[in-house]
Structure 1
Amino acid sequence: MIWSLVRRSRAGLPAPGQCAPGRHVLATERLLLFTPRTLLDVAAALAASADAEAQRWLGNQTDRIAPDPGTRRVLLEWRPAGDDGRRVPRRLAKPFTPGPDDPVFLVCVRRADLSYAGALQLEHRAGEMGGWLAPRCRGQGLGAELFRAGAVLAHTHAGMSTVRAGAETGNAASRRALARAGFVPDEGPPRHTLPDGRVIDSVWLRHDATAASHCT
């Protein structure tokens, strides 16, 4: 496993332990998560959540997603810029720099083949996190890994002692994944308004740490 991470780093991907101000890297058994380096990373992460099933739960505004299935498929077939030998289109190869007040946003790739797998977002000011997986990565237990990574990001990278996550009451997959990641039931508003204006029934869970720290 250590050799695998070293090899991925030499291929151009960041490795755990190489965080910098405003940029984070962490890994689970099967996933590598890092602050996007290029616009391709961002576009692929959003494409992973743009299908109808994901949007049923996320309700993102249309300007944040790729509505065309063909575009989503093409984006998710790429590998992070420069790591599969193909020349990335110039507009997508541009560097991505997170804003100082932006939520912490990490793109997620599968360590086995470096394919884009989803994303994780931490609203550090609100103390809340969320995430999603690409269609081909669902139903494999990766959701629990993703949310465990979110807890690690909150506790040991962002210095948060408690992080919360909300889910629609009918989203059994997310609720199971959060529970497997160590989240426990918490109090929270029973109704939640999604970005597209839909109001859903919601449940809330939290993850606590005995100690919290910052990575940089």
Structure 2
Amino acid sequence: MVWSLFRRSRTGTGLPVPGRCAPGRHVLATGRLLLFTPRTRLDVAAALAASADAEAQRWLGTQADEVLPDPGTRRALLAWRPAGDDGRRIPRVLAEPYTPAPDGPLLLVCVRRSDLSYAGALEFQPRDGEMGGWLAPGCRGQGLGAELFRAGLELAHTHLGLATARAGAEPGNTASRRALTRAGFVRDQGPSRHTLPDGRVIDAVWHRHDTASPSRCR
């Protein structure tokens, strides 16, 4: 729980391009981040690695079988670039294609546009319009959280056709709550308690963002 276009000529990469979505796959960009539906198992593993440290798990409470406990493994995954865009050949098991589940939450991995390093991920549940997200340890405290959640609003309002997007946070998670406010969210009513995936029950405050003209990507 909360828990300018990409310049191909500059990077020479084969990364997805904002504005070129496909069925079940989305691509969007902020000033410093590129977000896209994972294409390989490396993308998914890096997204999980970005959220597996103790600081992130204090707020996220990911299920145990989705947490990468070894710090060395997490650092190694985050050192890669998506699709081998740093010139290194990705191990076969990580290069396998990733196909998103048709009815599950949407996962968008995000990378820094400056160096293509993995920066975190955004999760969105189209069924109830709720989003969450996280940043890798080296990307925190730099204002990227607000960009991540602004991208979530773009996904909701102009890609998925949703008029309302919501996000919850623990009252003590001031970094996430500040990022939501800077992204344009306002306080909302919602359950005062929330159960995390690992079973922990926490206090919760809720935020929302509305648009009068939602639309869908092509």
Q: With structure 1 as the length reference, what TM-score do the two structures score?
A: 0.97
Could you list the structure 1 runs, at least 4 aligned residues long, displaced by more than 6 angstroms after superposition. none
CA shift for structure 1 position 104:
1.2
Match of 1:43 in 2: 45
1:117, distance to aligned residue in structure 2 (A) = 0.1
Structure 2: segments with no counterpart, 5+ residues: none
For the Cα contact (< 8 Å) 1:9–1:15, is it kept in 2?
A: no
Alpha carbon RMSD of aligned pairs, Å?
Answer: 1.1
State the one-letter code of the partner of 1:73: R
- List per-residue Cα deviations over 1:27-73 (Å, max 9, x = no partner): 00000000000000000001000000000000001111211100000
Aligned to 2:146: 144
CA contact (8 A) 1:81 1:88 kept: yes
**Does the Cα contact within 8 Å between 1:168 and 1:203 map onto a contact in 2?**
yes
1:20 alignment partner AA: A
Q: C-alpha distance in 2, partners of 1:82/1:210?
A: 41
The residue that corresponds to 1:67 in the other structure is 69
Mapped contact 1:12–1:82 kept (Cα < 8 A): no
Q: How far off its partner does 1:119 sit?
A: 0.2
Work out the percentage of aligned pairs sharing the same amino acid.
74
Corresponding residue for 1:157?
A: 159
Partner of 1:31: 33
Indicate conservation of the 8 Å contact 1:148/1:182, yes or no: yes
Question: Residue 10 of structure 1: CA displacement?
Answer: 4.2
Structure 2 residue 170 is the aligned partner of structure 1 residue 196: no
Aligned-residue offset at 1:81: 1.3
Give the deviation of 1:7 after TM superposition: 2.5
Aligned mates of 1:49, 1:148 — CA distance in 2: 19
For residues 211 and 10 of structure 1, what CA distance do their matches in structure 2 show?
A: 35
In structure 1, the gaps of 5 or more residues are none
Aligned mate of 1:13, from 3, 15, 23: 15
TM, length-normalised to structure 2:
0.96
| 1:92-111 equivalent positions in 2, closer than 5 A | 92-111=94-113
Equivalent residue letter for 1:36? P
